Structure 1
Amino acid sequence: MTAEGMPEVNADFGAYPTVEFTGDAPNGLRVAELVEGDGPLVRKGDTITVNYHGLVWGSDSPFDSSFDRHQPASFAIGVGQVIKGWDQSLPGHNVGSRLVVSIPPQYGYGTRGMPQAGIGGEDTLVFVVDIISTR
């Protein structure tokens, strides 16, 4: 499934993400809901559990993926525990949703990037996120 300006991503909640890039990264923080879940709404301050798959825009292989580890991640959202792009894009979506999020450097790891993960200071990040639970 494709949202305008976003990569092509399989829209099957829980399935291993496939991501195909075409063109340049969009400007600004962008989120597209590929699957709308029917579970509880995620709110700032909630502790959420997600599966995620993170790539640098245009890359073939992820720099981090809870799908690869077969181990979802849990954290508080909207309170600074994760990158700004996640804090700003995940609240307001329901459990059971699959999102694709395009995160420019200022909402990711900034101008320093994260060299140990292969992320440069100019890189746009793309995450496929399945929201598993919230509390």
Structure 2
Amino acid sequence: MQKLGRIIGVGAIAAAAVALTACGSGDDTSSTATSSKPTGTAAAPATQSHGRECTADDIKVDGGYGDNPKITIPDNCDPPKQLVVKDLVAGSGPGAAAGQALTMNYSLVTWSDKKKLDSSFDRGKPFQLTLGAGMVIPGWEQGLEGVQQGARRLLIIPPELGYGKGGNGIKPNETLVFVTDAVAVGK
């Protein structure tokens, strides 16, 4: 199944290319706002604020590099309004830069229903892309910048850097939580 390409990739038929964006650092970059869901959206169920935004440390990820991760999103904080990037397992070698080929394994959980939507781990086939070529959503473009081979990286992607108004099986205003493994960088 090519669901990964449909979820994060931008196909010629879809023509709604969205570029992924990455911080390029292994630091947790979360904002201080308290609510990330616009009011009045029918597709974003839980709109009551918990008074704080979740950070990377609030997301539980079971499994190490190469293992199919189990991602648990808490109920006691709000989705971040800004891209959050955190290396869960350090990689080695040069960090990925625009124009470089990447081979990534990933698992995607949607914030609103806390369910796995897609996983290359489940298919047993990593996803290949060229960083900065507009092949993936902006949250991936920005979030994978600087990733090193062998790294496991958590990406929490706000709607503006994902699918915004929805598409490719993603609800409108959905926050996306990815755990990615950098299988190959620059190869």
TM-score when normalising by structure 1: 0.88
2:61 is aligned to: 9
- The alpha carbon displacement at 1:20 in A equals 1.1
Query: Are the counterparts in 2 of residues 32 and 100 from structure 1 also a CA contact under 8 Å?
Result: yes
| Gaps in structure 2 of 5+ consecutive residues | 1-27, 29-53
1:120 is aligned to: 171
The runs of at least 4 consecutive aligned structure 1 residues that moved more than 4 Å come to none
Match of 1:77 among 125, 131, 139: 131
Q: 1:63-115: CA deviations, max 9, x gaps?
A: 1110110110101112211000000110112111001101111101122x12x
Query: Which is greater in Rg?
Result: 2
Partner Cα distance (1:45, 1:91) in 2: 11
- The alpha carbon displacement at 1:39 in A equals 3.2
Cα root mean square deviation, aligned: 1.6
- The alpha carbon displacement at 1:59 in A equals 3.5
Partner Cα distance (2:185, 2:105) in 1: 13
Query: Are the counterparts in 2 of residues 38 and 94 from structure 1 also a CA contact under 8 Å?
Result: yes
Whichever structure has more strand as a proportion of its residues is: 1
1:19 is aligned to: 71
Q: Secondary structure at the match of 1:28?
A: coil
| Gaps in structure 1 of 5+ consecutive residues | none
Q: Equivalent residues in 2 for 1:1-135 (5 A)?
A: 5-6=55-56, 7-10=59-62, 12-22=64-74, 23-111=77-165, 113-114=166-167, 117=169, 119-135=170-186
Q: Secondary structure at the match of 1:87?
A: helix
User: How many residue pairs get matched?
Assistant: 130
- The alpha carbon displacement at 1:11 in A equals 5.4
One-letter amino acid of the structure 2 residue matched with residue 13 of structure 1: Y
Q: Secondary structure at the match of 1:86?
A: helix
Q: Secondary structure at the match of 1:48?
A: strand
Partner Cα distance (1:11, 1:63) in 2: 18
> Identity of paired residues, percent?
38
Partner Cα distance (2:183, 2:96) in 1: 10
Query: Are the counterparts in 2 of residues 50 and 132 from structure 1 also a CA contact under 8 Å?
Result: yes
Query: Are the counterparts in 1 of residues 101 and 185 from structure 2 also a CA contact under 8 Å?
Result: yes
